[in-house]
Amino acid sequence: MAHPTTVDPPSNSIRYIPTNEAYDRWAEVYDSDGNFLQALDDLELKTLFPRFVASIKSPKPWRIVDLGCGTGRNTALLLRVPESETIALDASKGMLEVAKTRLGGSSLTPELSGNKPILRFDVFDMLATSGPPASVAPHTVDAIISTLVAEHIPLSVFFAHVSQLLRPGGVLLLTNMHSHMGSISQAGFVDTVTGEKIRPTSYAHTVEDTILEARKCGLDVETDAEGNGIIERAVSEDMVEKLGLRSGKWVDITCWFGGIFRKADS
Ligand SMILES: C[S@@+](CC[C@H](N)C(=O)[O-])C[C@H]1O[C@@H](n2cnc3c(N)ncnc32)[C@H](O)[C@@H]1O
């Protein structure tokens, strides 16, 4: 059972605010504030993302959702998948605005001109409803990516949404902050105007709980040919240069996990 993360020691300079408000404020600097977990995620996705695409078994064209797309960091990867429609969902309007500027397209308006990929954006808060987003009929999605998002959502709620969206046999690429890191830190940023650390609500989900909760919603871990299932990654000395200065204090701590889940066929 995961509990809301107890993070840094009490400090007047840390302010906890509602998650959507925190991301609305973070949006402006999210892509440039040197967050090493994003850099680690990028590194791992070099192998995990091709594995994910190869694991989609339904006939094309595919409908792929980026659940908690943020500024579109990884939505950009989906736009390179041929014969697919991408739907980018997030609860934060601020993050979605950055994604739209970065990737083009407009709210709920498919881009169908020329060979441009089809991309739609929609505001969707997993905590505000148990139903699907207005823009996506249930059980019509071939594949979902959700990177560094589950930290903010109780796992039962997260996987209920995933299961409701996916077709039978559909796949989920999930990455998240590891609970070893989550037990000492959490997502957040420094407000450049006030100097305060801003923290949204976070949970330190363990890999074990993640697998268990996924199973309750009919999703199982997909292993590759070498038997790799969920990957857990610690920061090592030799990664610090690549991941940026802020990763230095995390050497030898497991900070990230990721893997692919498949919804049962029946
Ligand atoms: C750390 S960011 C990750 C963004 C992007 N997936 C990436 O990898 O860069 C977490 C994202 O989850 C979104 N999020 C948090 N709670 C959410 C909720 N209840 N429903 C939908 N999105 C949510 C936030 O707005 C934010 O954009």
Is 32 domain-assigned? yes
In a domain, 182, yes or no: yes
Provide the percentage of residues in the chain whose pLDDT is more than 70. Answer: 91
Domain limits at 186?
15-263
Say how many Å lie between the first and final Cα of the chain, rounded: 28
Copy the structure tokens of residue 158.
């997260």
Q: Is the CB of 154 within 6 Å of ligand 1?
A: no
224 backbone dihedrals φ, ψ, rounded to 5°: -90, -175
Could you give the percent of the chain with pLDDT greater than 90? 78
Measured from the CB, is residue 186 less than 6 Å from ligand 1?
no
Domains in the chain, number: 1
Q: What is the CATH number of the domain that holds 55?
A: 3.40.50.150
Residue 192: per-residue pLDDT = 80
Q: Single out the residue of 256, 238, 233 nearest to residue 248, CA to CA.
A: 238
- Can you state the percent helix, strand and coil of the chain, rounding each to 5? 30, 25, 40
Does 113 score more than 60 pLDDT? no
Residue 105 inside a domain? The answer is yes
Note whether residue 171 is domain-resident: yes
Q: Is residue 10 part of a domain?
A: no
Q: Best mutation site among 37, 40, 86, 149 for ligand 1, i.e. most ligand atoms within 8 A of its Cβ? A: 149
Give the DSSP per-residue string, 62-94.
Answer: EEEEEET-TTSTTHHHHTTSSSEEEEEEES-HH
Neighbours of 210 (CB within 10 A): 23
Domain for residue 1, yes or no? no
Report if residue 142 sits inside a domain.
Answer: yes
Cα–Cα nearest to 1, from 209, 212, 152: 209
Residue 7 lies in a domain: no
Q: Is 75 in the pocket of ligand 1 (CB under 6 A)?
A: no
pTM of the model: 0.92
